[in-house]
């Protein structure tokens, strides 16, 4: 930050709902489940596509009709797919024609016959429930964009609201005399430097605490890892630790499924959880820092790992953070620092005490809480 009125600007894609669209991911009716403004939404209904939902009625035989909503623009035969209630594909159409001879039918699907009326309606004889179906419509006829998914790129602006992080420092005149006469250093300089390190630790802890709060409330359930030896197998305690990488990778999978992006760029954890990572063969001491405050203990498969006290992150928990490398502004939290370190002059009291004040001025904003993930490691030995 250069001034107290500085702001951060970043692009925020907003995928707008269209109540005419009949192709949401849950295969529901027109406009079913839509949110008017969804940020980083992953639903296929937001994007231009010619695949839309059919209307399924009846029960053995089933009637699958591609005649309403998008299909009023014209149905294109040869692309239909039939699903059961769990979303498993039962059959898919290979080419126009409609009869079962032009369909690939999944083994065990229960489908024995398929007929086509030539316009957009199929009759399916099946012992398995036909719950969902999708097909292709002619989007070239949608000249008014009635069934078009839309995305608006909004330039969002957040203005930092500068607040201080303060710390008071006191020392006695006797301490000052002893240091000046025996060590030959400036007492005020040494003590102010030590106080500055305390503010640095406080800022680091505060940032992690904010991030952990966001991770707890972003809607993603923690990934649970069982460190117990074997955990249902004959593996040893150390061998089980080699599989922790699956839990870490799973965090990124959950994010990717929800917002089409995500992963793990940094790991911050409680003491026991971070110590447990040392058992994994992928852990190295690269980048290790002095054990003061929140510090880096090394790297796990190339990912920097930091340790903080259990009062910041629970002893057996790991918090992961991801940053979009393709967009510098696409981060989980943005911190703005106006003045990293400010000190007052030392004030001499009549009781031979001196005091001074230190402060750091800045602000923060959570831009995308979905970039945080949590891992809980159960049955860690020694805790």
For residue 45 the two structure tokens come to 């209904």
- Of 320, 275, 321, the residue nearest 298 (C-alpha): 275
Mean pLDDT, range 288-303, rounded to an integer: 93
CA distance linking residue 194 with residue 214, whole number of Å: 31
Q: Is residue 50 a contact partner of residue 76, using CB atoms and an 8 Å limit?
A: yes
Per the DSSP assignment, residues forming a β-bridge with 225 are 377
Q: How far is CA 259 from its chain centroid?
A: 7
Decide if pLDDT at 221 tops 90: yes
CB contact set of 79 (below 8 Å; sequence gap of 6+): 51, 93, 135, 136
Tell me the percentage of the chain whose pLDDT exceeds 90: 34
Q: Tokens in use for 178?
A: 């002893």
Q: At what angle do helices 187-216 and 173-182 cross, to 10 degrees?
A: 110
Q: Is 26 left (phi over 0), alpha (psi -120 to 50) or beta?
A: alpha
135 contacts 71 by C-beta, under 8 angstroms = yes
CA distance 53 to 24: 8
Question: What would the two tokens of residue 258 be?
Answer: 């929800």
Average pLDDT, the chain: 83
Q: Dihedral (C-alpha) 214, 215, 218, 220: value to the nearest 10 degrees?
A: 180
Q: Which residues are CB-neighbours of 321 under 8 A, at least 6 positions away?
A: 211, 264, 265, 266, 267, 268, 332, 371, 372
44-53, 70-79, 226-235, 294-303: range with lowest mean pLDDT: 44-53
Nearest to 231 by CA among 222, 244, 220, 249: 244
For residue 133, with 0-12 CB atoms within 10 Å meaning exposed, 13-18 middle and 19 or more buried, which class applies? buried
pTM for the model: 0.68
- Calpha distance 137→332 (Å, rounded): 39
Share of the chain above pLDDT 70, in %: 87
Rounded distance, CA 153 to CA 295, Å?
38
Taking CA atoms, 285 is separated from 226, 289, 331, 383, in Å, by 24, 9, 26, 23
Task: Give the pLDDT confidence of 137-170 residue by residue, as tens digits.
Answer: 888 888 877 777 666 677 777 788 888 888 888 8
Mean pLDDT to the nearest integer, 35-41: 43
Q: How far apart are CA 38 and CA 30, in angstroms?
A: 17
Separation in Å, CA 373 to CA 17, 215, 218, 274, 287: 28, 6, 9, 15, 23
* β-strand pairing of 266-269 with 317-321: antiparallel
Separation CA 83–CA 62 (nearest Å): 12
pLDDT at 114 exceeding the cut of 90: yes
Q: What pLDDT digit, counting tens, does each position of 68-109 carry? A: 888 888 899 998 999 988 888 899 999 887 788 899 999 888
Nearby residues of 272 by Cβ (< 8 Å), 6 or more positions away: 310, 315, 316, 377, 380, 382, 383
Cα distance between residue 68 and residue 52, in whole Å: 10
Query: How many angstroms separate the CA atoms of 59 and 290, rounded?
Result: 69
Residue range 111-128: mean pLDDT, rounded: 92
Cα separation of 181 and 190, whole Å?
A: 14
pLDDT band at residue 292 using 50, 70 and 90 as cut-offs = confident
Q: Confidence band (pLDDT; 50, 70, 90) for 16? A: low
* DSSP collapsed to 3 states, 156-182: EEEECCCEEEEEEEEEEHHHHHHHHHH
């Amino acid at each position: 930050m250069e001034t107290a009125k500085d702001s951060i600007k970043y692009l925020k894609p907003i995928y707008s709902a269209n109540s005419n669209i009949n192709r949401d991911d849950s295969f529901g009716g027109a406009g079913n489940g839509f949110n008017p403004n969804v940020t980083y939404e992953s639903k296929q209904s937001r994007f231009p596509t010619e695949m839309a939902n059919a209307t399924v009625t009846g029960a053995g035989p089933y009637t699958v009709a591609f005649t309403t909503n998008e299909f009023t623009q014209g149905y294109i035969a040869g692309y239909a797919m039939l699903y059961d209630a769990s979303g498993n594909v039962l059959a898919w159409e290979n080419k126009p024609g409609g009869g079962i001879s032009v369909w690939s039918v999944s083994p065990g699907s229960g489908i024995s016959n398929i007929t086509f009326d030539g316009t957009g309606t199929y009759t399916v004889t099946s012992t398995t429930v036909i719950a969902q179906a999708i097909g292709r419509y002619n989007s070239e006829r949608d000249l008014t964009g009635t069934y078009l998914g839309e995305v608006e790129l909004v330039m969002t602006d957040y203005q930092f609201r500068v607040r201080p992080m303060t710390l008071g420092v006191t020392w006695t005149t006797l301490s000052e005399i002893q240091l000046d006469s025996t060590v030959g250093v400036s007492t005020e300089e040494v003590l102010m430097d030590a106080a500055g390190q305390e503010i640095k630790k406080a800022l680091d802890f505060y940032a992690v605490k904010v991030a952990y709060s966001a991770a707890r409330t972003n809607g993603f359930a923690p990934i649970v890892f069982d460190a117990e030896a074997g955990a249902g197998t004959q593996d040893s305690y150390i061998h089980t630790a080699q599989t922790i990488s699956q839990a870490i990778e799973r965090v990124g999978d959950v994010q990717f499924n929800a917002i089409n992006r995500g992963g793990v760029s940094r790991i911050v954890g409680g003491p026991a959880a971070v110590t447990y990572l040392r058992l994994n063969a992928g852990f190295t001491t690269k980048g290790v820092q002095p054990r003061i405050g929140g510090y880096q203990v090394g790297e796990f498969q190339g990912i920097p790992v930091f340790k903080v006290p259990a009062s910041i992150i629970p002893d057996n928990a790991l918090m992961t953070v991801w940053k979009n490398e393709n967009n510098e502004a696409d981060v989980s939290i943005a911190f703005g620092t106006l003045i990293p370190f400010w000190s007052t002059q030392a004030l001499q009291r009549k009781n031979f005490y001196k005091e001074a004040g230190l402060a750091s001025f800045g602000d923060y904003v959570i831009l995308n809480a979905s970039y945080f993930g949590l891992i809980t490691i159960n049955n860690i030995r020694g805790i």
